[in-house]
Amino acid sequence: MPIQQHYLTDALQRPSPNYDDRPDPDDISLVVIHCISLPPGQFDNAYIDQLFNNQLDPNAHPYFQDIHTLRVSAHVLIKRDGTLVQYVPFHKRAWHAGKSNYKGRERCNDFAIGIELEGTEHTPYTDAQYQQLQSVLESLLSTYPQLSWQRITRHSDIAPGRKTDPGESFDWQRLLSKHLEQDG
């Protein structure tokens, strides 16, 4: 899938205001995999778009009372049916990782691309999501030379004790199996 001017050409574009400039726009050297569902455990609605665009109605669900003022985003969301939504161009800093550390380097948002999977830590992800994630990762790795299969991580790995996503339901081996076979 082509990337042109830091956008996936096959993704729906829903520009988020929740981004800024990276300290070094050429330092794109990590991919962080997350999961999200709003309200928790509910899928296929407009609430993620609303959260990432500062439009979440606090009265639409009790859970939203505590999160509607958050200013967060990701570069890409992969919905349950495999639909891709892009919120932030890859050369900009999306606000997805929060307080984080990757191999001694803090502030992962500065150098990472954030990919959200619509799901929960305990609900299996869909075949369509794994296929789309594989395709997105291959495109990112062929576009941004500092990325590699070894520089793909989970949110829980860069924010241990604070975050648990994408959780036990994420099949890391399945994601990496194609790559491991090629290197094996």
Residues serving a catalytic function are: 116
The CA distance from 115 to 141, in Å, is 14
The CA distance from 15 to 18, in Å, is 9
Bridge partners of residue 86, in order along the sequence: 13, 76
HEC-encoded secondary structure of 142-161? HHCCCCCHHHEEEHHHHCCC
- Pick the closest to residue 31 from 116, 89, 88 (CA basis): 116
Give CA separation, 112 vs 103, 121, 128, in Å: 13, 21, 24
- Pick the closest to residue 128 from 165, 173, 74, 84 (CA basis): 84
Q: What are phi and psi of 111, to 5 degrees?
A: -130, 5
